[in-house]
A and B are shown apart, each in its own frame.
Chain A
Amino acid sequence: MKVVLRNPRREVEVDGPITVQALLRRLDLSPESVLVIVGDELVTHDVKLADHAAVEIRPVISGGSPGVAA
C-alpha cells in the first residue's frame, strides 16, 4: 500500500494487509503523535488496512513559541 507521510511530505510502500498499530510500529512512529487517515476517514489502531488502501499518516505535534499554540 502507498503511505503518505508529512513534514516533510514523502511516500513509502508497505505490504498489506496490516493493522494500523503494526504499521505505526513498522515505521517507528508513536501512536500519540499521529493520526491515520484512509481516504477521508480516521481509523483506529485495531483496523486492518488492505493492501490497496491509500493511507495518510498525519503528524499532530506542533512546536514553536509558547506565546500561542498552532
Chain B
Amino acid sequence: MKCRVCKGPAVIDVRRHNAAFCRDHFVHHCDEQVRRAIHSHKMLEPGERVLVAVSGGKDSLALWEILVRLGYEADGLYLGLGIGDYSDVSGRHTRAFAEQLGRRLLEVDLAADYGYGIPEAAEATRRSPCGSCGLSKRHLFNSAANEHGYDVVATGHNLDDEAAVLLGNVLRWDTGYLGRQHPVLPAAPGFVRKVKPLVRLGERETAAYCVLRGIDYQVEECPMAAGNRHLGYKEVLNALEDRSPGSKAAFLFGFIERGHERFAGDAEIERDDLGECTVCGAPTPGDVCAFCRLRVQVGALEAPPGDSVPVRLEVR
C-alpha cells in the first residue's frame, strides 16, 4: 500500500477513510482529526488550562501528547485505582511519559486518599467493578480540576468508545444518557467542562499513533474489565465495520449531528435542581453525592446521620 499523501510506502491503513499513510502523514492525520474535533465542537479556547485524565494506556497518552504539540496548556491527572500489578504498571508508564513530555502530573490514589480501591468497591457494591471505577473517576477528575484551577477536563474517549457507549444507550433507550452523550459536556455550577478530542480517531489509530511516536503505553488490559458489556458492544460494532467500513463513524457522527439534540431535554431535567453534597460539597440531586455514598458502602467513610440509601452506580 502507498501513502495517500506522498505515495511512499504506507505503514497503516485506515479503511474508514479508504486510505493508507506513511509514518509522518499518519501523525499529521491524527493531529488534523483532533484539531477538527476541537474546532468543530468548540472544545477548547487558546490559553485555557486543560487537565488530561491519563491512565497510562494508548488513548490518554496519545491525547496528552497531541494536545501539547498543538500548543495547549495541558497537564495530566493520574488516578491510582488499587488494582494490584495492573495499577503499579499503569502508574509507571504514566509517570515516565509525563517526565518525557515535560508536563505536570497530578496524582490521586484511591486507597491512600479515599480509603478504598476498585476491587474493594466492587465487592462491597456487588456490582461490576467498572461501575464503581467510572463513578470514582467522574467525581475525582471534576474535583481535581476545580481544586487546581483547570478550565476543562479532557478524556481519551475515542470513536470506538463513544460508538460502543451509544449502542448501549440505544439498546436500553436510556434517554438521559443519550442527551448527555456528546463530545463536549458544558460547564455547569460545580462542574468543569469535559471534552473528548479523540472522538474522530478509532482506537486502532490511537494505538498506531503511539507505536509510531515511540510512546510506551500499557498494552495489558485491565483485569477487572474482562468480559464486560462495553467490550461486547465493541466486538459487535467491529464485526459490522469489517463488513462495511465506516459504519461506526456513521453511527456515532449521525447521532451527534442529527440525534443528540432530540434527547438534550432529558439530560437537562437530570441536571436541574442540584444541591451540594453535605459531605464533600460536590453537586448532587440528593443530600449525599454518589461518590460519598460509595465510600460509605465500602466502609471508608462513616454514614452521614439519617442517610442509608445505597449508591446507585451508573452503567452507561
Binding site for B on A (CB under 8 A): 6-7, 30-35, 37, 41-46, 58-70
In chain B, residues 128-156, which have Cβ atoms closer than 8 Å to a Cβ of chain A?
129-131, 133-138, 141, 155-156
Contact, CB under 8 Å: A42 / B231: no
Cα–Cα, bound, A54→B77 (Å):
36
Alpha-carbon distance between A69 and B58 when the two chains are bound, in angstroms = 9
Contact of A68 among B53, B203, B235 (CB under 8 A): B53
Main secondary structure of the interface of B (DSSP, over half): helix
Q: Which residues of A contact B212 (CB under 8 A)?
A: 42
Q: Which residue of B lies closest to A8 (CB)?
A: B220
Which of B136, B204, B208: most chain A CB closer than 10 A? B204
Cα A64 to Cα B156 in complex, Å, equals 13
Contact between A63 and B203, CB atoms less than 8 A apart: no
Complex CA distance for A61 and B53, rounded to whole angstroms: 19
A16 CA to B270 CA, complexed, in Å: 58
- The answer to whether B13 has its CB under 8 Å from any CB of chain A is yes
Complex-state Cα separation, A63 to B206, whole angstroms? 14
Q: Which of A7, A60, A61, A65 has the most CB of B within 10 A?
A: A65
Query: A62 to chain B: which residues have CB within 8 Å?
Result: 57-59, 203, 221-222, 225
Nearest chain A residue, comparing its CB with the CB of B227: A63
Could you show 19 A-B contacts with beta carbons less than 8 Å apart?
Answer: A7-B221, A33-B235, A35-B208, A42-B11, A44-B11, A45-B1, A45-B13, A60-B58, A61-B231, A62-B221, A62-B225, A63-B130, A64-B133, A66-B130, A66-B230, A67-B133, A68-B155, A69-B156, A69-B158
B266 at the interface (CB under 8 A from A): no
Choose the segment among B237-245, B273-281, B299-307 that binds chain A (4+ C-beta atoms closer than 8 Å). Answer: B237-245
Q: A44-B20, A63-B231 are in contact. List 8 more A-B contacts (CB 8 A).
A: A6-B219, A32-B242, A63-B130, A64-B222, A66-B134, A66-B161, A69-B158, A70-B57
* Measured CA separation A42–B224 after assembly (Å): 29
The B54-71 residues at the A interface (CB cut-off 8 A) are 55, 57-60
Is there an interface contact between A67 and B136, defined as CB atoms closer than 8 Å?
yes
With A32-B242, A35-B204 as contacts: A68 and B156 at CB distance below 8 Å: yes
Measured between alpha carbons, how far is A10 from B131 in the docked complex, in Å?
Answer: 30
Q: Closest CB of chain A to B222's CB: distance in Å? A: 5
- Partner of B1 from the list A30, A35, A41, A46 (CB cut-off 8 Å) is A46
Q: Which residues of B contact A59 (CB under 8 A)?
A: 219, 221
**How would you classify the secondary structure of chain A's contact residues: helix, strand, loop or mixed?**
loop
Given the known inter-chain contacts A30-B239, A59-B221, please indicate yes or no for A69 contacting B137, CB distance below 8 A.
no
B161 touches A43 (CB 8 A): no
Write the residues of chain B forming the contact surface with A, with a CB cutoff of 8 angstroms.
1, 10-13, 15, 20, 53, 55, 57-60, 79, 129-131, 133-138, 141, 155-158, 160-161, 165, 198, 202-204, 206-208, 211-212, 217-222, 224-225, 228, 230-231, 234-235, 238-239, 241-242, 314, 316
Residues of B within 8 A of A69 (CB): 55, 57, 59-60, 155-158, 161, 198
Q: In the complex, A31 Cα to B221 Cα: how many Å?
A: 18
Q: Given A31-B242, A42-B211, are A60 and B222 also a contact pair (CB < 8 Å)?
A: no
Quick check: A65 and B137 within 8 Å, CB to CB?
yes
Residue ID in chain A nearest B219 by CB atoms? A6
Task: Provide the bound-state CA to CA distance between A35 and B314, in Å.
Answer: 32
Cross-chain contact of A70 among B133, B156, B202, B211 (Cβ < 8 A): B156
- Check if B60 sits within 8 Å of A68, measured CB to CB: yes
Q: Which residues of A contact B239 (CB under 8 A)?
A: 30
